[in-house]
Structure 1
Amino acid sequence: METSQECDVLVVGGGPAGSTIATLLARQGRRVVLLEKEHHPRFHIGESLLPGNVELFDKLGVRDQVEKIGMPKFGIEFVPPDLDYRSYVDFSEGWDPTKDSAWQVRRSELDELLFRHAGNEGALTLEGARVRQVDFDAEGATVQAVLDDGGTRSWRARFVVDASGRDTLLATKFKCKNKNPDHNSTALFGHFRNARRLEGRREGNISICWFEHGWFWFIPLADGTTSVGAVCWAYYLKARDKPLKDYFLDTIAMCPELHDRLANATLVDDAVHATGNFSYASTHATGERYLMVGDAFTFIDPMFSSGVFLAMQSAFDGAALVATALDRPAELAAARQALEKRMRVGPRDYSWFIYRVTNPTIRDMFMHPNNVFKAKQGLMSLLAADIHHGRAYRRSLWMFKVLYYFISVVNWRRTYAGWKRRRDNIRDWGPLKGETILKAD
């Protein structure tokens, strides 16, 4: 019988969350094993980063490397479906003006960069290793993985970090993953060459374009390609009656501004993808011998590009918890309670806006941002991922919500119509035609 190799921490998943926490724990002098089921570089959607990521890249020591592969991004463009007017907001308008920029990146390049960095920092990294079983006991856990050649490997770990993304390894094992009943969307996306971009300093900014059935992202990348995707209500993709590419191009035609920008563009590899984008959250993120980080804990709609930031921030916070569990177990209960609370802050703040983003009131407030009661500063701090700024941020975000509810009450007929439409659209429409679930580590 094969003997298990020993380690202090075994991390499942070599995406941003897993690679980040593996790096931090290896720096502490711990024996860390990082397992990735695929081989880098591997495709992943979600190319837009936030200014909050920059500080984390600095702490990891990879900022210069990320900058070399990234397209500078200073803000966001909002494009309504029925107006010629465009709204432009800059991250520098938040509470911390130094959090003024980030990058658009190819995730295949970013994820490999972070994974290799973890190895350089001392973690033992292994690709092509799919974890099949995790068994916990009083002393730690036994983890078994299947390799590409069909062979198996086993590790004995004092602590396990689940960074398996939408595979949700431990949440599935413990049956603690709950689908969010208030959100149900799908996505169609592809990459284009020769798309017309914004000019000057705004060239790398992300554009959010609303249309009848949802919203589009338009993300320029440094290699000249542009990522374009439509996040739609599930009923829309369920009704598809033609090949996926044709349906996607017809969907783009519903947004005149986006259609114009892509008039002379061509699809890279003629490829279009479809994915279910169902939000979920686990009932808990921590245990005596384990931790779930990033999408392994919770997944929310990608509208504000918060995914990589939330994953990496949870890894930074989680690394401190792991150290407590291994070195000061008497303090673990309090540390777990504090981390459980902290890990819900970001998803909660972003979700409040995401679930209302198709409401006419929110759309109007985004199109005509006003800094009454510092509400715009609160919004821009959120969009820049400066979500732990403190009381000033909390106050201004609260005032934004007060203004939203006031305007909604004044325009109650419009508010009710928007609410009713949303309740109808979030019904579970069942499996989607041509759907590919992109499970990211």
Structure 2
Amino acid sequence: MRVAVVGSGFAGSLLARVLTVQGHDVVLLERGTHPRFAIGESSTPLANLTLERLARRYGLDDCYDLAAHGRWVVRFPELERGLKRGFTFYRHHAGRPFAVDGTRTERLLVAASPNDHVADNHWLRADVDHHFVRAAVAAGVEYRDRTDVTAELLKILGADFVVDASGPGGFLARQLDLPSALHRMHTRAGLLFSHFAGVRLFADVAPGLPAGPYPDDWAAVHHIIDEGWLYSLRFDHGITSAGFLLRDPMPGTPEETWRHLLRRYPTIGALFRDARPLMPLAFRPRVQHRLTRAAGDGWAMLPHAFAFVDPLFSTGIAWSLRAIERLASCFENGLPIERDLSRYDALLGAEADQIDWLVAGAYRAMAR
């Protein structure tokens, strides 16, 4: 059976490789090239457990090693990553430095692993996505980049099934004219983001914090502010991915908004005092998107093509990997049948609802 996978991020490339291992004839189609910048960088224990299961089931030894920080560093030192020991939260107040005040300190550390060796990772997506593309090609996937995907091209390629692994407004959303279901979503936030060099450690700008179960910065760091929150993901080579999720639009250019927020929250400003963006600051007015369907006769979407909620709680990588696992099981006996695709569609819809309610509730709590 001929399967076309549209989009060669880590999810599309990994699914294409798994389907090839199963014996399917797979073509992976990509509009751009690699390596390239992407956001969605923070893994979790659920993501790593899923990656390990995929590794064992389909003989993907690199996936097993990429599922834990210690194994990753030994096997793939050239692929940049960041140690993630857990989830760190700070509450900041406008016009006031972060206060270290004993048991009243507004700081929460949630450990996700007992040591560095088995810890999660932040994925530098330019490196990781490129690795998965190369691994797919080595496994026998036909790869075509710089390709404009059209219905005519898929007909020429003889595709029996199409998987959209791209992103919002992707090929299948346009081709099938799928209605938006954005009105169903309760979470609403825009994103102001870049990668930075020279971001300081939190302990350097807020001295006196007691030791926690892990160093504060080796985590998915959440700086809660009145307007939303700031994520900060530090990679092992010193680069930091950071972005403000803002409930309401703010006037001015991305650079003006960034400077305003750093002035408004002095400790965050101190963290980024000497930092420089490695690419121009970018702003997306709303990061949420959702469609009404995720699968049908002869087609399916991976999560990011179907829906996205928010970076809060790092659900993206795990959701994509679980969807790969489910969709691959639908192909194990040939062309997916209607019952399996209906179940896949229902599961993605239910999970989008669950993530949305969780994140929307957290936003309401953060605003108090």
Change (3 A) 1:221 1:227: same
Of 179, 190, 215, 2:182 maps to: 179
* Matches for 1:236-247 after TM superposition, within 5 Å: 236=250, 239-240=251-252, 243-247=253-257
Mapped to 1, the partners of 2:345 and 2:116 lie a distance apart of: 29
In the alignment, which residue of structure 1 is the partner of 2:108?
Answer: 87
Of 120, 131, 134, 2:151 maps to: 134
Cα deviation, 1:222-241, whole Å, max 9, x if unaligned, reads 221111111112432xx22x
Q: Does 1:267 align with 2:277?
A: yes
Following TM superposition, by how much is the alpha carbon of 1:100 offset from its aligned partner in structure 2, in angstroms? 6.6
Q: Does 1:285 align with 2:294?
A: yes
Give yes or no for contact 1:192–1:268 (8 Å, CA) kept in 2: yes
Q: Does 1:214 align with 2:211?
A: no
Change (3 A) 1:92 1:105: closer
Cα deviation, 1:187-224, whole Å, max 9, x if unaligned, reads 11122222122576443212111112111011101221
Following TM superposition, by how much is the alpha carbon of 1:15 offset from its aligned partner in structure 2, in angstroms? 0.9
In the alignment, which residue of structure 2 is the partner of 1:117?
Answer: 135
Q: Which moved more, 1:97-106 or 1:191-200?
A: 97-106
TM-score (normalised: structure 2)? 0.81
Which amino acid counterpart does residue 354 of structure 1 have in structure 2?
V
- Secondary structure at the residue paired with 2:159? strand
Change (3 A) 1:120 1:163: same
* Matches for 1:326-341 after TM superposition, within 5 Å: 326=335, 332-341=337-346
Give yes or no for contact 2:191–2:287 (8 Å, CA) kept in 1: no
Which amino acid counterpart does residue 130 of structure 1 have in structure 2?
D
Following TM superposition, by how much is the alpha carbon of 1:307 offset from its aligned partner in structure 2, in angstroms? 1.4
Mapped to 2, the partners of 1:299 and 1:220 lie a distance apart of: 23
Mapped to 2, the partners of 1:62 and 1:348 lie a distance apart of: 32
- Secondary structure at the residue paired with 1:308? helix
Give yes or no for contact 1:211–1:254 (8 Å, CA) kept in 2: no
Q: Which moved more, 1:192-201 or 1:210-219?
A: 192-201
Mark the runs of 5 or more structure 1 residues left unpaired by the alignment: 1-6, 136-141, 145-153, 364-416, 419-441
Give the number of aligned pairs: 329
Give yes or no for contact 2:223–2:229 (8 Å, CA) kept in 1: yes
Change (3 A) 1:170 1:99: farther
Change (3 A) 1:37 1:251: same
Following TM superposition, by how much is the alpha carbon of 1:184 offset from its aligned partner in structure 2, in angstroms? 2.7
Mapped to 2, the partners of 1:351 and 1:284 lie a distance apart of: 16
Of 25, 28, 32, 1:34 maps to: 28
Mapped to 2, the partners of 1:21 and 1:109 lie a distance apart of: 18
Which amino acid counterpart does residue 207 of structure 1 have in structure 2?
V
In the alignment, which residue of structure 1 is the partner of 2:45?
Answer: 51
Mapped to 2, the partners of 1:123 and 1:38 lie a distance apart of: 17
Give yes or no for contact 2:192–2:243 (8 Å, CA) kept in 1: yes
Following TM superposition, by how much is the alpha carbon of 1:126 offset from its aligned partner in structure 2, in angstroms? 1.4
Cα deviation, 1:41-99, whole Å, max 9, x if unaligned, reads 01112222222222343314324355432211011111112363211111249xxx999
- Secondary structure at the residue paired with 1:249? helix
Bigger Rg, structure 1 or 2:
1
In the alignment, which residue of structure 2 is the partner of 1:382?
Answer: none
Of 4, 15, 22, 1:10 maps to: 4
Give yes or no for contact 1:51–1:99 (8 Å, CA) kept in 2: no
Mapped to 2, the partners of 1:333 and 1:265 lie a distance apart of: 52
Q: Does 1:62 align with 2:62?
A: yes
Which amino acid counterpart does residue 334 of structure 1 have in structure 2?
R
Which amino acid counterpart does residue 11 of structure 1 have in structure 2?
V
Following TM superposition, by how much is the alpha carbon of 1:173 offset from its aligned partner in structure 2, in angstroms? 2.6
Change (3 A) 1:98 1:51: farther
Of 188, 194, 211, 1:190 maps to: 194
Q: Does 1:254 align with 2:247?
A: no
Mapped to 2, the partners of 1:61 and 1:55 lie a distance apart of: 14
Which amino acid counterpart does residue 269 of structure 2 have in structure 1?
H
Following TM superposition, by how much is the alpha carbon of 1:170 offset from its aligned partner in structure 2, in angstroms? 1.2
Which amino acid counterpart does residue 82 of structure 2 have in structure 1?
M
- Secondary structure at the residue paired with 1:113? helix
Mark the runs of 5 or more structure 2 residues left unpaired by the alignment: 67-71, 100-104, 204-213
Mapped to 1, the partners of 2:145 and 2:138 lie a distance apart of: 15
Change (3 A) 1:228 1:253: farther
